Structure 1
């Protein structure tokens, strides 16, 4: 299994319950595909470095996980089809 890290930014208009629901949804994708979550760190609302689709801030969430090499593709697909995710990034952590 490889170690990965993903950072995604949720739309700032989401209520706290919706933010929690989205985090649980993406954690579920990782766990259902055979991945293992090591750490979830919610950074909260922060100002974006630049405006994205007329939005200046977002809720940042960092997730560290271990999985096989196919899982990041499925996670990326889920991020892309979710309307609540402004931006996302998945990287392979080098040991």
Structure 2
């Protein structure tokens, strides 16, 4: 069997619980086709790079799969039919990572400063033009 990373982007107007149900359905399909799901991650409601079907956001989920190609084909066939799915992408990888994905590790680090942490110094004075 091969290893796959599968990312699903769902419509922004569905709830997080409905996204989790969608991931459970995908997991059930994989198990039915004699594969295994080693890890699932919910990345949250994130901005899309460009609007898709008038949506600017989407619920992102990552699923690590160890299974046959037939299982992946069945999952992709069902996701094409599902109206809640905006996009999906399946990539074959050499091995599955046991660590959290880069998206989750960046979220946990908290790289962005909080709004209250900004420097509240004086504004620089405007330079007046010299009219010649």
Q: TM-score range by the shorter chain?
A: over 0.9
Deviations, residues 17-48 of structure 1 (Å, cap 9, x unaligned): 21221111111111111110011011010000
Higher-strand-fraction structure: 1
Q: What SS does the aligned partner of 2:69 have?
A: coil
**What RMSD over aligned residues (CA atoms) do the two structures have, in Å?**
1.0
Looking at structure 1, the residues matched to 11 and 92 of structure 2 have their Cα atoms a distance apart, in angstroms, of 25
Length-normalised TM-score, structure 2: 0.69
Match of 1:24?
Answer: 24
Match of 1:50?
Answer: 50
Stretches of structure 1 that go unaligned for 5 or more consecutive residues are none
Length-normalised TM-score, structure 1: 0.94
Match of 2:122?
Answer: none
Match of 1:5?
Answer: 5
Give the paired residue count: 95
Q: Which structure carries more relative contact order (alpha carbon 8 Å, separation 6+)?
A: 1
Shift of 1:16: 2.6
Match of 1:63?
Answer: 63
Match of 2:129?
Answer: none
Q: Which runs of 4+ in 1 moved over 4 A?
A: none
